[in-house]
């Protein structure tokens, strides 16, 4: 368990990335995969035109067709 004193000293800005990778809602899955790969992240917020974040798109293996 983390001691409360330790948690109080850590700032969010110290553990978060200042440059967040985002994906436009209009990009293809191939483009999204490339952005995530290049940024070395497993997910990114999907943003629309002036609508703000829609959802986080995680990078998952594709499912096999039945």
Pairwise CA distance, residues 44 & 32, whole Å: 9
So what's the pLDDT on residue 10?
A: 82
> Is the predicted pLDDT of residue 43 greater than 60, yes or no?
yes
Residue 64 confidence (pLDDT) above 80 = no
Measure the CA–CA gap between 24 and 45, rounded to whole angstroms.
Answer: 9
Whether the CB-CB separation of 57 and 46 falls below 8 Å is answered with yes
> What is the rounded average pLDDT of the residues 14-28?
85
Per the prediction, the chain carries an average pLDDT of: 74
Q: How does strand 52-58 pair with strand 43-48?
A: antiparallel
DSSP per-residue letters across 1-22: ---HHHHHH--HHHHS-SS---
Digit-coded pLDDT (tens) for 22-42: 898 899 999 999 999 998 888
Query: How is residue 44 annotated by DSSP?
Result: E
């Amino acid at each position: 368990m983390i001691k409360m004193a330790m948690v109080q000293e850590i700032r969010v800005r110290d553990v978060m990335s200042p440059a967040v990778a985002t994906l436009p809602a209009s990009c293809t899955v191939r483009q999204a995969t490339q952005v995530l790969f290049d940024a070395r992240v497993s997910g990114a917020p999907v943003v629309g035109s002036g609508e703000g974040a829609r959802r986080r798109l995680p990078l998952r293996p594709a499912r096999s067709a039945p």
